[in-house]
Amino acid sequence: MTRLTSPVNDQDHVQGPQDARITLLEYGDYECPHCGAAYPMIEDLQREFATEMRLVYRHFPLTQIHSYAQLAAEAAEAAGAQNKFWEMHRVLFTHQDSLDDASLVVYAASLRLDLTSFRQALTFHLFEKKIRNDFMSGVRSGVNGTPTFFIDDVRYNGAHEHDALFAAIEKAARARTA
């Protein structure tokens, strides 16, 4: 059983109740087609476990095979600096086929971000260290591909299908109340 080595902290992007019984943490890559396929499933799980689960997202850009993954992660962080991480997260996963510089600026404009700050963040790679820290925490936790999920600090090794992940989350929730 592989465990998460870096606990959820104030540098993480968290969605859902802070006092949730279950934490689902994803290491993901915005250009990864498997992460893109998992995205709507995660949204469904968030609705189904609305009061019981919080979602944490950490970057794990696979830059050797996804040429825009790092830039997309930096765009998400730049949006996060303007309190729009989750909005940009959604846009990036729904537009995985267009993650070039120009497209990212269009997405930032659609979210009404300060474009000067956004462009500066991308140009000067202001969030590169944060993304590297996420990546290295994944490496230390045994992550070697995306998406990789942890349920309450334990790596989920099952199928990336709704019913299988739902059952694993439900089992973890039952174990917490037992």
Range with the lowest mean pLDDT among 17-21, 23-27, 71-75? 17-21
CA distances from 157 to 15, 40, 50, 57, 171 (A): 23, 19, 23, 17, 14
For residue 131, being part of any structural domain is answered with yes
Question: What does the pLDDT average to over 159-174?
Answer: 95
Q: For position 15, what pLDDT does the model report?
A: 97
CA distances from 14 to 18, 46, 105, 145, 158 (A): 8, 12, 24, 21, 23
For residue 6, being part of any structural domain is answered with no
DSSP state of 23: E
Q: Containing domain of residue 33, as a range?
A: 13-177
Q: For position 50, what pLDDT does the model report?
A: 93
Query: Could you give the number of structural domains in the chain?
Result: 1
Q: For position 177, what pLDDT does the model report?
A: 77
For residue 4, being part of any structural domain is answered with no
For residue 1, being part of any structural domain is answered with no
How does pLDDT run across 30-65, given as a tens digit for each residue? 999 999 999 999 999 999 999 999 999 999 999 999
> Is 28 a residue whose pLDDT tops 80?
yes
Q: How far apart are CA 138 and CA 29, in angstroms?
A: 12
Dihedral (CA of 29, 45, 87, 80) sign: negative
Question: How high does pLDDT run on average in the chain?
Answer: 97
* Angle CA 68–135–103, to nearest 5: 20
For residue 8, being part of any structural domain is answered with no
How does pLDDT run across 135-165, given as a tens digit for each residue? 999 999 999 999 999 999 999 999 999 999 9
Q: How far apart are CA 138 and CA 144, in angstroms?
A: 8
For residue 159, being part of any structural domain is answered with yes
* CATH code assigned at 157: 3.40.30.10
CA distances from 81 to 73, 75, 88, 113, 148 (A): 12, 10, 11, 10, 25
For residue 90, being part of any structural domain is answered with yes
For residue 7, being part of any structural domain is answered with no
Dihedral (CA of 112, 63, 150, 133) sign: negative
- Which amino acid does the sequence have at 107? Y
Question: What does the pLDDT average to over 97-113?
Answer: 98
Dihedral (CA of 67, 70, 75, 79) sign: positive
> Is 29 a residue whose pLDDT tops 90?
yes
Q: For position 176, what pLDDT does the model report?
A: 81
Q: Which two three-digit tokens encode residue 79?
A: 């949006």
